[in-house]
Structure 1
Amino acid sequence: MVGQESLSLRRLKEFQPLGRLSDDQLVLLANRAERRLHGRGQRVIERGVRDGMDFFLVSGQVELESGDGRKFRIDAGSDQAVNPIARLQPRMYTVTAVKPSEFLVIRQDMLTQLLRSAPVHQVEMQSGEVSGEPESEEHQLLMEFYAELRTNQLALPSVPDVARKVRRLVDREDTAAEQVASAVAADPALAAKLVRACNSALYRGFSDVRNVREAVIRLGMRTTRQLVTVFCMREIFRSNRPALQKEMDRLWKHSREVAALCWVLADSVTSLDPEEALLAGLLHDIGVVPVLVQAEHHEKLFSNQANLDHAIEELRGDMGAAVLENWAFPSRFLDAVRHAEDWAWDSPESSPQLADVVIVAQLHAMIGANRSADLPLFEQVPSYRKLGELKLNASRSLQLLTEARARVDEVHRLLSIH
């Protein structure tokens, strides 16, 4: 069925990347797009197909199911519905309507063509001049990213095989510790890291563990899963080009600092799993990695730090969500990636979420790095107010982290295990 009532320009701009288009372009797009209605239980998208279409959820609720049986739901109007549903092609998910749902369906090639001629956000260059040329190097790169991201042509980093295998094993209810230990032991270097981590000050028991099986039993399955992924992440931040590796090292250093603060904040003022918060902090800038890799092929962009920084700012959330979507991570991690530097973000949940912890950790990390000039006051940040079990204020917050410095340093050592 096809919907009849037209969508307002304001509603269209709530979707990404439609918000980059001009009003005239949106009118043209709305006239050429298709509106589809699906009843409860109807299949919307089949996994594995490459249909060249973007599905934007206008109303209702859908369920996405991956090839390994993982399921999650998306409601219209939520953060997860801002981008096209199951956007990567070929489709990685089967999508089914849980409630009667309406979609705006747009041909990807048409949207790409519109984006290439979309207005350019003005960017101040290092020279002090303002760039607004539609054919600028930066604009071309941004449009290329959007086009390749939607058609799954962009080389996204892949999660290491052992981390993927361990995550899948732990997600199964019938998996034994011996099976997880066997999967970890297949990578001797990783196995050694896990044993050393288990014997560190953060996890040490009455005696040291001697092998991977004992480490898995002491840590527990969930903690083992998170730590295995954490230890594998360092390899993602690698490049063969020295100048690019310098950027990767800077990114890893910042991610490691945020991750350590996430661990302490989650453990001190929330009921969230500290290891899960650690991983969310480590992954919050994962979307920058493919931007840096792609920027290497655009000499003008890479040589101009202002241009590169703007490209990163524009794309980090979208790219990060695409990477974690590709890795089949839960939606709470995708929220943390999308909103890591969105100080005004306010989750509909009353209790703290992973994204809240990452946002607050980011604030502290930036203050610690003397980057507080453009930051809001703590009390103005909704995520900060949610970490309120200890009635935090600015002075209490900094005092808490000062007192916990030894634990932050211990997490740093954990992330530096070779």
Structure 2
Amino acid sequence: MLEERLPQLIPFADLGERARHRLLQHASTLDIKPGLKLHARDEWRHLIFLLEGRVILSDDGQSVILKGGSPESLNPLFNERDYHSHAIAASSGRIALFDRKVYENLIDGAREGVEVSEIELSDLEGELFTSIYTRAFSGELQLPQLPEVALHLQAALKDPDVDIERVTRIIEEDPSVAARLLSVANSPAMGSQREVSRLADAVSRLGLERTRQLVMALAAHQVFIRRDSPYHGLLERLWRRSARVAAISCVLADQSEAVDPQKALLAGLLHRVGALPIIGEVARSHPDRSAEDIERILYRLEGLIGELVAQQWGLASDIMAAIRDSGGPETATAAPLTDIVRIARSACTRDGDDALADRTPLAKLNAVARFGFVLDDDGQLPAIDTARREIDALIREVA
């Protein structure tokens, strides 16, 4: 099959028969399953083509679906100097891998193994993954929507000339959010003895960036707590733990000075947002599944699905990466924000009695030492205990 397809692949169309034969000697095919992920930064050795199935190509927040046999599939998945894109298999299929060096030089060379991030999915997990991705890209699946106040504020703050008056008018659209902002602005954590009663004064005290992060946090809370869901209890547990991860992320970011603490707070709050479409899909197609069944499924799929939600919400690329990758294996190329959230997730293993706690011990995370944190004899972070009052205050602020 590969020999027949080779002349159709655009980079190889002008190669002679002898050159194609040599190229085939260093080529292979790989069967793919839903959930297999390829990163462009890892695949610089290869020219990769989709032969069968469907994959989702994502680059800088933009995603397209690619089908095997389509005209677009005659080009490689990744360009030569592409270090940011990634592809996720949305169905079972097959890819072809050609040694880039052999193609460039047409000389013998040992083919090195393909490096992939693959999730071995059960039949149910593969079914859910494929259904969510396919329905999302066909427009049949309604992904979680941010409340209007958050969407309007996100759009307004893209204007460098936006002022407090305009931000105040937007927040006044949602009285519950406005009331929470006033409460936070007057909290002891703000360190002011003077109480403010006007929303504009509260926004001024908080600052535009913290106001934005708090509005997003309050909006996310509304998205998570769905009273009409048969899995309402599970959603509430997810939110409570997300609030704890967010508070710890904020404190660790501040102590390490690795990333902006307010951005870490938001990334921690949203790190499990991918659970929402999965729970909704299970409720639709497998309503007999228990909350315990869903918990196992979430750990396998929520990072991949969370990226879809993050793209729709227009979140920053580093927050999107934290949502996608903080629950997966640690990598040397991860962004600081991803690693801060990863550490916070692991720190929650004993930080509260929660069956949803991540299982990776802190001692196994290289990022702990890289950010200058020290573990105690029990393998825990003393930095969390010393900031307990701050963490508890942050949880009350967003939960």
Q: TM-score range by the shorter chain?
A: 0.7 to 0.9
Deviation (angstroms), 1:348 = 5.5
Q: Does 1:398 pair with 2:384?
A: no
CA offsets 1:294-341 (integer angstroms, 9 cap, x no match): 1112336623733x2343222201111110101111110111111222
Deviation (angstroms), 1:355 = 0.9
Mapped partners of 2:258, 2:91: distance in 1: 43
Alpha-carbon contact 1:345-1:382 (below 8 Å) kept: no
SS at match of 2:231: helix
Deviation (angstroms), 1:240 = 4.0
Unaligned runs of 5+ in 1: 20-27, 35-43, 62-75, 85-107, 124-135
Mapped partners of 2:179, 2:358: distance in 1: 42
**1:383 matched residue in structure 2:** 367
Structure having the higher Rg: 2
**2:205 matched residue in structure 1:** 218
Residues 1:296 and 1:227: Cα distance change in structure 2 (over 3 Å): same
Deviation (angstroms), 1:366 = 1.4
Alpha-carbon contact 1:16-1:83 (below 8 Å) kept: no
Deviation (angstroms), 1:174 = 0.8
**1:298 matched residue in structure 2:** 285
User: What letter is aligned with 1:3?
Assistant: P
Alpha-carbon contact 2:254-2:261 (below 8 Å) kept: yes
Q: Does 1:155 pair with 2:137?
A: no
**2:78 matched residue in structure 1:** 58
Residues 1:242 and 1:305: Cα distance change in structure 2 (over 3 Å): same
Q: Which of 318-327 and 374-383 deviates more? A: 374-383
Aligned counterpart for 2:308 among listed residues 322, 334, 344 = 322
User: What letter is aligned with 1:230?
Assistant: A
**1:342 matched residue in structure 2:** 328
User: What letter is aligned with 1:411?
Assistant: L
Aligned counterpart for 1:364 among listed residues 347, 353, 358 = 347
Aligned counterpart for 2:159 among listed residues 165, 168, 172 = 172
Mapped partners of 2:52, 2:124: distance in 1: 29
Mapped partners of 2:37, 2:383: distance in 1: 42
Residues 1:271 and 1:178: Cα distance change in structure 2 (over 3 Å): farther
User: What letter is aligned with 1:320?
Assistant: G
User: What letter is aligned with 1:59?
Assistant: N
Residues 1:15 and 1:239: Cα distance change in structure 2 (over 3 Å): closer
CA offsets 1:193-237 (integer angstroms, 9 cap, x no match): 111111112223241222111111111111111111111111111
User: What letter is aligned with 1:342?
Assistant: G
Q: Does 1:3 pair with 2:23?
A: no
Mapped partners of 2:337, 2:229: distance in 1: 33
CA offsets 1:119-176 (integer angstroms, 9 cap, x no match): 99475xxxxxxxxxxxx55543333223224434322101111111112222211111
Alpha-carbon contact 2:53-2:92 (below 8 Å) kept: no
Residues 1:150 and 1:50: Cα distance change in structure 2 (over 3 Å): closer
Deviation (angstroms), 1:273 = 2.0
**1:87 matched residue in structure 2:** none
CA offsets 1:351-378 (integer angstroms, 9 cap, x no match): xx21111111101111224679984443
**When the two structures are superposed, what TM-score results if normalisation uses the length of structure 2?**
0.72
Mapped partners of 2:343, 2:64: distance in 1: 40
Alpha-carbon contact 1:201-1:410 (below 8 Å) kept: no
Alpha-carbon contact 2:125-2:301 (below 8 Å) kept: no
Unaligned runs of 5+ in 2: 1-8, 13-22, 39-47, 95-117
Identity %: 23
Q: Which of 170-179 and 197-206 deviates more? A: 197-206
Alpha-carbon contact 1:343-1:359 (below 8 Å) kept: no
Alpha-carbon contact 1:288-1:316 (below 8 Å) kept: yes
User: What letter is aligned with 1:302?
Assistant: R
Residues 1:301 and 1:120: Cα distance change in structure 2 (over 3 Å): farther
User: What letter is aligned with 2:87?
Assistant: N
Mapped partners of 1:373, 1:162: distance in 2: 31
Residues 1:50 and 1:197: Cα distance change in structure 2 (over 3 Å): same
Q: What is the 5 A alignment of 1:184-333?
A: 184-241=171-228, 243-299=230-286, 302-303=289-290, 305-306=292-293, 308-333=294-319
Alpha-carbon contact 1:142-1:311 (below 8 Å) kept: no
Deviation (angstroms), 1:384 = 1.8
Mapped partners of 2:168, 2:146: distance in 1: 19
**1:88 matched residue in structure 2:** none
Alpha-carbon contact 1:16-1:82 (below 8 Å) kept: no
Residues 1:190 and 1:10: Cα distance change in structure 2 (over 3 Å): farther
Mapped partners of 1:341, 1:33: distance in 2: 27
SS at match of 2:131: helix
Alpha-carbon contact 2:245-2:345 (below 8 Å) kept: yes
User: What letter is aligned with 1:335?
Assistant: A
Deviation (angstroms), 1:77 = 3.9
Q: What is the 5 A alignment of 1:63-82?
A: 76-78=82-84, 81-82=85-86
**1:70 matched residue in structure 2:** none
**When the two structures are superposed, what TM-score results if normalisation uses the length of structure 1?**
0.69
CA offsets 1:64-112 (integer angstroms, 9 cap, x no match): xxxxxxxxxxxx344xx2236xxxxxxxxxxxxxxxxxxxxxxx9xx64
Mapped partners of 2:337, 2:348: distance in 1: 16
Residues 1:15 and 1:9: Cα distance change in structure 2 (over 3 Å): farther
Deviation (angstroms), 1:253 = 1.1
SS at match of 2:169: helix
Q: Which of 328-337 and 48-57 deviates more? A: 48-57
